Structure 1
């Protein structure tokens, strides 16, 4: 019996949603690869150093990956806009898997650093590729319902990374911390290749090589400043000041070049849209707060609350679960109502409040109390993580979806780099001051290594030294989160100026008023055809 006209559209809609979900399986696995890698490798690093040596080059294993990923992110986004999302995304997965395999085969620390750079080059395209493809497939109005999936992937990576990394290293060897990417990546590669069908793109435009080169130099310099400053070199050293000058000059020249480029790698016109600029700034500040928290909360838990490295990851559960639940609720509300202006305001307010509460922790704070404080911080993240990307993508034309996704991701990453670097400097100085005040010059010498002592050594220290260090860590944590709360307030101020523009795909209302500065053409975007993915 033929379907009635009343039921046929419902069947088509259900089929479309099922097709999108199939594609999302591959995309979510790819996102998990991008987020999980550093968490797993970080746990394996002591074993890697024990076998390969090169302790003095240890930081470069992480820095090479981070540099390559950050520098390539905007380039991957632009290539996807120019030549089609699917082929560029599959290429980034292949490069990431090649880098993973070579890293596992490394015979020296120098080889590992070089191959981690290859892996990072591919990783730069993974996250931006996922976000841009989701932007192509799912209209902004409908995208909120999938936010919980992305928040869930982040929670799995943060909690499962250390657990998986420790288990793999102990039972299979450190090389499998890289090899584990291969079967997961191969499955994601097959899923995306077989199920994702987007309109093919062909363009005669030339790649903006000069702009890409200048942007790479500028981003690399900024990342090196935040990585080396206060660690490898003093903040006032010639190396750090030289990198700052190089970053300023290269980015200034980049702006000039982009204004004249026929197809700029980063179209400056997207910043003319107020909403895009504001949520990019908010994303930068969110990254600053989030990465600072994730870096220093485990240190506090392992030192003050006597948690193991594994348990400190589990103790982050209140923050991560809160982020997951709030992100899911915010996404559903956005999908049902099309309203989102309140979320950046509430999110930045909770982000600042959570950081302020965490700054009150001391040597006597219980795990329950710190867990409640973390839940407040996590709620703030939940309101912001996906909403900022949603507003950024809704503020540009479809042809700039990749650039919008990569720019938003890049600014959040750089914000995180600055957050970790500046928080680390604040923490180390505070620990040093407190230990010097309690132990005199001896305390200053003990704290001179960056303000951190391996928690496993605490029980072997004299009681006076241990007590001074515990108070130093508590004081350093207080200072870090107090400054973080102030940074969050800047985001709170910016969020009030975000304009609530109707989301594309929101129905009749959206057809009357497109996004600010963007010509509404819902019927001409991939939403109409590409959302019904061919499988």
Structure 2
């Protein structure tokens, strides 16, 4: 059934859809490539600025602000229109990028990454929502596959571009290269996208936005610093949990009593949206588990170099857009439910392959496992976005799309804390049990030596074997938990409504 959305007929006459799509994909590419290209440049950045102890905060600052603001931007785009909000987001992202390139200390870089993340929170959800606005249901399924291909392209070219810039120019251009991309995207959106916004006084939920930001900021700060800068069992930890809980309770109470809430909880009562958001959270946990720890397994346990380790993740980024493209066709022929369930099965196959993975199997096995996982993500995520955008009206499409992306981002953060804690505790336990008789000084930090040929040369063969075995056992435990989340995801998918909206 083809449903024409509000203003779609008039917008089609004025909006140049291929050019808007190109501008949107450019904005998404700018945001998608940020993760891979900055990761590639980080060793050079640390060598220049120092502050290795703050290494993780360069990524955490960006992730934190991105996650905190994504829902707020989604709602604002429903009030003021997509064009204005995505322009503000891209502009903030570019300001942050320019400042990052001028950073003289690691602290400055982290502050500027906060600004970058503040803008990035608007880019992905609003860009995806624009596509939902200007294309019909049948067209969206196909176009979402194109959008997903942006991630695959960025994963392939990000490390290469970053490496070339660092080697032949400067790490600062890793940030400055965003400027032409962002400017072209803004121009394309302003010249070729035409919206019809209701001329009425906007009602902005300032209190709700403030309470939500406080609760998520406190919780994510704990998840990022928990077990590192903050002990899990401590007054600080309990205070942050209590503060986040109170703010979130006040947020929910407030949202239920106002006319224009930041988060309309009634959309969560729609079963397809509730399940899509729940599975996005579980797959977010899985995604961070694979992308964070697979390179370590390939390098430290299999003994391969960083390039080969990167290839195993690239396999996931190739499987994702291929499956997204196929998903667009499957949605039309067999529906959202069956399409997402096929994706759920592929996620479980990928999880099983990761559990079975042994050092002797080599990087090809790791790459195949990664590919299956990426294919599962491509099928489910595309089906979810198209389903959600078809279910709600224009006035709620921005916040509904943003809510789904928020749940995946939140899953990433929870997964990083949960799986990182599992890895560290399992590894420490193994070293205490098996390593004491070989070298009493062995600790989790000793694994750093396995990641470089120079470090390995300082270790005896016996110590190397203990560390590799410990890391293998620990990572297998992580992958087992990832597989459990794949099962949970599939169980959720079984409850997707059989009747298509």
TM-score by length of 1: 0.87
Give the whole-Å Cα distance in 1 for the aligned partners of 2:261 and 2:438. Answer: 56
Distance 2:481 2:18 in 1: 41
Asked if the contact 1:300–1:477 (Cα under 8 Å) also holds between the matched residues in 2, the reply is yes
Gap change, CA 1:58 and 1:463, over 3 Å in 2: same
Q: How many equivalent pairs are there? A: 489
- TM superposition shift of 1:443: 5.6
Q: Bigger shift: 441-450 or 112-121? A: 441-450
SS at match of 2:361: coil
Please state if 1:423 is matched with 2:411.
no
- Is 1:157 the counterpart of 2:154 in the alignment? yes
Moved more, 358-367 or 292-301: 358-367
Instruction: Report what 2:383 is aligned to.
Output: 387
Match of 2:287 in 1: 290
1:464 paired to 2:462: yes
Map 1:443-458; keep pairs closer than 5 Å: 445-449=441-445, 452-453=448-449, 455-456=451-452, 457-458=455-456
Q: Distance in 1 between matches of 2:446 and 2:276?
A: 34
Aligned to 1:343: 339
Gaps of 5+ in 1: 1-11, 503-514, 516-535
1: CA distance, partners of 2:284 / 2:122: 19
**3-state SS, counterpart of residue 232 of structure 2:** coil
RMSD: 2.1
Q: CA deviation at 1:441?
A: 7.2
Partner of 2:5: none
**Tell me, which stretches of 5 or more residues in structure 2 are unaligned?**
1-8
Alignment CA distance shift 1:139-1:364 (3 Å): same
Q: How far did 1:121 drift?
A: 0.5
Report the Cα distance in structure 2 between the residues aligned to 1:302 and 1:422, rounded to whole angstroms: 22
3-state SS of the aligned residue for 2:443? helix
How big is the shift at 1:17? 12
What does 1:176-325 align with in structure 2 at a 5 Å threshold? Answer: 176-325=173-322
1:369 alignment partner, one of 360, 365, 368: 365
Could you tell me how far apart the structure 1 residues matched to 2:407 and 2:376 are?
Answer: 18
Q: What corresponds to 1:512 in structure 2? A: none
- Counterpart check, 1:482 vs 2:480: yes
Conservation of the 8 A alpha-carbon contact between 1:211 and 1:254: yes
Q: Distance in 2 between matches of 1:17 and 1:469?
A: 63
1:387-430 deviation digits (Å, cap 9, x = unpaired): 11222222222210110011011000000111122111111122
TM-score by length of 2: 0.93
Residue 491 (str. 1) matches residue 479 (str. 2): no
Match of residue 55, structure 2, among 42, 54, 58: 58
Distance in 1 (alpha carbons) for counterparts of 2:232 and 2:456: 29
Whether 1:119 aligns to 2:116 is yes
Q: Which residue number in structure 1 is paired with residue 136 of structure 2?
A: 139
Q: Do the aligned partners of residues 497 and 237 (structure 1) sit closer, same or farther apart at CA in structure 2, a change above 3 Å counting?
A: same
Aligned match of 2:394: 398
User: In the superposition, relative to structure 1, how do residues 429 and 23 fare at CA in structure 2: closer, same or farther (>3 Å)?
Assistant: same
Change (3 A) 1:444 1:202: farther
- Looking at structure 2, the residues matched to 338 and 92 of structure 1 have their Cα atoms a distance apart, in angstroms, of 37
Do 2:15 and 2:193's aligned partners in 1 also have CA atoms closer than 8 Å? no
